[in-house]
A and B are shown apart, each in its own frame.
Chain A
């Protein structure tokens, strides 16, 4: 596609529910990142993939957060047993690699009620 695509654009979950957020990166991009952006804050790094390998998951806030990119293209961020503090915009970004620019998607706004 022309850009990074994320779905759904909005997600409302009841506390305790599991959610799955999808990211379609630009075709051929090697690097893929997930960021969490709380209201009024800057994005914070969650995890990084190089192709299908998850090389850095140091930003995942708890073991309820899980990300995968099984075929090195589409990625899914899964949050189990959602809590209110998980409410945020989740941004996905991709790039060729190295110092090439990051391309961001429009994010998924998750609201946990």
Chain B
């Protein structure tokens, strides 16, 4: 079974600065997807960024980018120019590519990000 570990329960960053959230995972599969989700107090999980394991290039979405190290099974999220609206719980998630149609996700325990004005 796959596991996802987020070792930072809480992080804080000054507004406009850069912060990196860590995530490691364990799997015996070679093909999979990794995600970062944001969960504000509304509880809705919002997709931030996604990475396909077969792609060597790190995914980027505006101020959000990842550092995907497949051999090390590491998938960190970098948030540049942090904004007050970035404050939320952030979850790292894994999805196997093997089960077509069953896109169930395995989540980490989350990191609470606080933005300091």
Residues of A within 8 A of B (CB): 30-31, 33, 35, 40-45, 48, 50, 55-56, 59, 89, 91, 93, 95, 97-99, 101-102, 104-107, 109
**Could you tell me if A31 and B91 are in contact, using CB atoms closer than 8 angstroms?**
no
Of B33, B91, B104, B106, chain A has the most CB atoms within 10 Å of the CB of B104
Question: Given that A42-B108, A99-B33 are contacting pairs, would A31 and B44 also be in contact in the complex, using a CB cutoff of 8 Å?
Answer: no
Offer 8 A-B interface pairs, CB within 8 angstroms, sorted by A. Answer: A33-B103, A42-B107, A48-B104, A56-B102, A91-B43, A99-B103, A102-B105, A104-B44
Task: Establish whether residues A102 and B103, one from each chain, have CB atoms under 8 Å apart when the complex forms.
Answer: yes
- What's the Cα separation between A43 and B105 when bound, in Å? 9
Q: Which of A97, A102, A105, A106 has the most CB of B within 10 A?
A: A102
C-alpha spacing A31/B103, complex, angstroms:
8
Interface size class of B (residues with CB under 8 A): 20 to 34
Q: A91-B43, A101-B47 are in contact. Are A55 and B102 (CB under 8 A)?
A: yes
Using Cβ atoms and an 8 Å threshold, which residues of chain B touch A97? Answer: 101
